Amino acid sequence: MGHAEMLLAVAGLDESGVQDITRRLAAQDWASFPPMERAAFRAGWQLSREPHLFDDAQRTALAAACGPERAVDVIWYTAWGNYMMLVADALRLPLERENAFRRPPTSTDSARR
């Protein structure tokens, strides 16, 4: 399981919600997301694919959409995620098969079904 899926599950999405969002993100189908998230996705995509082309106009647009502090967060987290991916790929680290952050089911969870 990828870390993005893990974080979505930790945020409270069920399996179908995680699959829906990851499918839309992978397809660049961002129309249904709020403007601030769309701006973050555009910036993250650009920074991941062609970081040398991320210019002042794009930084300004990102800051206008989500504020300067959040813009720094988007840029930093995107750079960190890409760095970690490169390290994991270079070391051939496998992805976890399951969500390492998922809490184990309790007896009350099975009673609700």
**Chunked mean pLDDT (size 10), the chain, 113 residues:** 75 88 89 94 94 95 97 95 90 77 65 54
47 domain-assigned: yes
Task: Specify if 42 maps to a domain.
Answer: yes
pLDDT of 1 reads: 45
Is 66 a domain residue?
Answer: yes
Please, is 41 exposed, middle or buried when counting C-beta atoms within 10 Å of its C-beta (0-12, 13-18, 19+)? middle
Q: Is 7 within the bounds of a domain?
A: no
Residue 23 lies in a domain: no
- Res 9: pLDDT: 83
Residue 53 lies in a domain: yes
Range of the domain at 43: 33-100
Residue 12 has a pLDDT of: 86
| pTM, 2 dp | 0.74
Whether residue 13 lies inside any domain: the answer is no
Q: How many residues does the chain have?
A: 113
CB 40 within 8 A of CB 30: no
> In this structure, is residue 94 part of a structural domain?
yes
Going 103 to 107 to 111 to 113, the CA torsion angle's sign is: positive
The answer to whether 93 and 2 are in contact (CB under 8 A) is no
> What is the count of structural domains for the chain?
1
